[in-house]
Amino acid sequence: TPSIIPKPVFLRVTDGALKLSSPFKITGPSTEEGGRLAGLLEESLRSRNYEADPGGAVPVNLTMVSYDSAVKEGFHQVVVNDFGVQISSNTGAGLFYGIQTFLQLLPEKGTSDRIAPVNIIDYPRFPYRGLHLDVSRHFFPASFIKQYIDWLAFHKFNYFHWHLTDDQGWRIEIKKYPELQKISSTRKETLIGHAGIPENFDGTLYGGFYTQEEIREVVAYAAARYVTVVPEIEMPGHALAALTAYPSLGCTGGPYQVGTKWGVFQDVFCAGKEETFEFLSNVLDEVVSLFPGPYVHVGGDECPKDRWKECPRCQKRMKTEGLKDEHELQSYFIQRVEKFLNSRDRRLIGWNEILEGGLAPNATVMSWQGEQGGITAAKQQHDVIMTPGGWCYFDHYQDTTKGEPLAFGGFTPVSKVYSYEPVPSALSTEEAKHVLGSQANLWTEYVTSPEHAAYMAYPRACALAEVVWSPKAARDYQDFLNRLQVHLPRLDKMGINYAKHISKEFTTKPTNP
Ligand code: ACM
Ligand code: ZN
């Protein structure tokens, strides 16, 4: 039986075998999308040392079909028999997923001259299947972002959450505010290790940002792989980098310094000044012009209220708006930004703290401090995306081996990720419909290079892929490990520097797909 990750809904091994004696001949729908998908497949085959040629004798047909009834997003079928490979769907996304499955059916070049005959029918369990990357604490070049997207798309994830701003660096070019590039994108130095008394710093300037041209490229690259990019612009907290360039946006007026260590800072955007909302509206206008997807994430987490309590403007705002405390002021802030985003035809996502003081009317909640935020929001009939730290934080340790690279803390091995159930048992069937899916977050305080990011993300992302894609009833950790053992060499071929500890848990001898 072929080892596909995430596990398909239906897979049957049939009779015969497809011989791989000559190049593949790829045909697809004669549309722009069909041409693009055929091109992607051809590229993927070449990168695996297979040839594709219009005169080839092994047909791979991509077929757009129409289904009578409404089927789920991403529904597709993959049939391999003596005559060739047939991938069909009613959507481009479905064809793309079928292609990813086919690439996993393909034996490593030179190891076998046939593909197992199969009939696969597949579709995802959840509509939101995400991976996140923090590029503020450490910066990752656009070339790596594309790889990261390539890898997640291979595992049938469909959202990339790009954490673009935070205290330690602003990473997105905003033409109207050039000081964000000049000042907010760079910090003076970086704390060494977790903390320490006294604190030690590396004394080295650290910075970087994406030009709007690079962002457009990444967004297009993602779209071609049916991945939607969710940009995150943090507010009202985690804003120290922006305040450093534009100190009048803070309650005290500064001066401020782009964060050189980790944690939560008291200086946040002033909620009393109109200038703050003008700035954020202008920033978000450029953001929505770059990101065509439905969502903009505005953070909303970890916003201390110390400055607001002391600030006459914030206090005045509370009086004139009739807000009873600073939590309601945060709610006012997020609701105002939501109105703006809705006017631009975008939906707001925030971390679960946006519940405090009252949810903005149309907000989607990302539950990270356990499941409770997600439960509360779903009970209020808001959409939720589950990213609870204990299962979905890939900045945690994944093994107890000595010599692991420094991590945030915690312990979230592959088995723990695999055990995650995104629908909390506290929700009724109706409420559970608001759980759009789940996402893993990779915060990068201690993740300093692309290789290290890959190490933290994989193979844990393989486990989460199955959590969000495969039917709940199909989940079986031992079966997953058996398939993962076959899957890991595919990751090697793709150049993914995944963590190897999981091999300790493998009990069967490796086989080829
Ligand atoms: C978060 O981890 N502060 C969302
Ligand atoms: Zn203020």
Rounded to 5°, angle at Cα 385 from 383 and 391: 150
Distance from C-alpha of 237 to C-alpha of 350, rounded to nearest angstrom: 12
State how far the Cα of 420 lies from the Cα of 293, in Å rounded to an integer: 27
Task: List the structure tokens of 372.
Answer: 């409770």
As annotated, the active-site residues are 166, 238, 302
**Averaged over 19-32, what is the pLDDT?**
94
In this prediction, residues 490-502 reach a mean pLDDT of: 97
pLDDT in tens, 124-151: 999 999 999 999 999 999 999 999 999 9
**Ligand 1, residues 163, 232, 351, 439: which to mutate, most atoms within 8 A of Cβ?**
351
User: Who contacts 349 (Cβ-Cβ below 8 Å, separation ≥6)?
Assistant: 230, 295, 296, 297, 298, 363, 364, 365, 366, 385
Cis, peptide link before residue 388, omega less than 30° from 0:
no
Q: Measured from the CB, is residue 394 less than 6 Å from ligand 1?
A: no
Q: Residue 393: beta bridge partners?
A: 441
Tokens of 428: 């009724």
Q: What is the pLDDT of residues 383-436, one digit of tens each?
A: 999 999 999 999 999 999 888 999 999 999 999 999 999 999 999 999 999 999
Distance 368 CA to ligand 1 centre (A): 7
Q: Which helix (H) or strand (E) holds 161?
A: strand 159-163
Distance 301 CA to ligand 1 centre (A): 6
Residues 6+ apart with CB under 8 A from 322: none
Mean pLDDT of 26-40: 97
Instruction: Fill in the amino acid letter for 106.
Output: L
Instruction: Quote the tokens at residue 259.
Output: 């964060």
Q: In a mutational test of the pocket of ligand 1, which residue from 301, 367, 412, 444 has the highest number of ligand atoms less than 8 Å from its CB? A: 301
CA torsion 43→128→364→457, rounded to 10°?
Answer: -70
- For the record, the structure tokens of 479 come out as 């079966």
3-state secondary structure 391-410: HHECCEECCCCCCCCCCCEE
Is a pLDDT exceeding 70 seen at residue 513? no
* Cβ 369 under 6 angstroms from ligand 1: no
Nearest residue by C-alpha to atom 2 in ligand 1: 368
Determine if ligand 1 sits within 6 Å of the CB of residue 332.
no
Residue 181: its H or E element: none
Residue 270 Cα, ligand 2 centroid: separation in angstroms? 4
Dist. CA 231 → ligand 1 center (Å): 15
The chain-wide mean pLDDT, for the chain, equals 96
Alpha helices in 364-445 (DSSP H): 372-379, 389-392, 414-418, 429-432
CA separation for the pair 215, 221 (Å, rounded): 10
CA distance 429 to 423: 10
Pocket test for ligand 1, best of 392, 443, 446 (most atoms within 8 A of CB): 443
d(CA 208, CA 144): 14
Q: For the whole prediction, is pTM greater than 0.85?
A: yes
β-sheet bridge partners, residue 411: 397
Ligand 1 centroid–CA 267 distance in Å is 17
Report the candidate in 463, 486, 478, 492 with the shortest Cα–Cα distance to residue 116: 486
71 compared with 431, residue with greater pLDDT: 431
Output the pLDDT for position 158: 98
Ligand 1, closest atom to CA 443? 2
pLDDT of residue 508: 66
Strand 409-411 with 10-13, pairing:
unpaired
The tens digit of pLDDT for each residue in 174-214 reads 999 999 999 999 999 999 999 888 999 999 999 999 999 99
Name the burial class of residue 389, with classes exposed (0-12), middle (13-18) and buried (19+) by CB atoms within 10 angstroms of its CB. middle
In this predicted structure, what is the pLDDT of residue 67? 77
Ligand 1 touching residue 368 (CB < 6 A): yes
Share of the chain above pLDDT 70, in %: 98
The token pair at 350 is 């925030």
Which ligand 1 atom is at minimum distance from the Cα of 366?
4
Ligand 2 centroid distance, CA of 236 (Å): 11
pLDDT, mean of residues 21-43:
96
Ligand nearest to the CA of 270: 2
Atom of ligand 1 nearest to the CA of 393: 2
Number of H helices, E strands in the chain: 17, 22
Determine if ligand 1 sits within 6 Å of the CB of residue 389.
no
Query: Is the shortest distance between the CB of 301 and ligand 1 below 6 Å?
Result: yes
Residue 511 has pLDDT above 70, yes or no: no
CA–CA distance, 280 with 318 (Å, rounded to integer): 20
Each residue's pLDDT tens digit, 295-337: 999 999 999 999 999 999 999 999 999 999 999 999 999 999 9
353 pLDDT more than 90? yes
Residue 70 has pLDDT above 70, yes or no: no
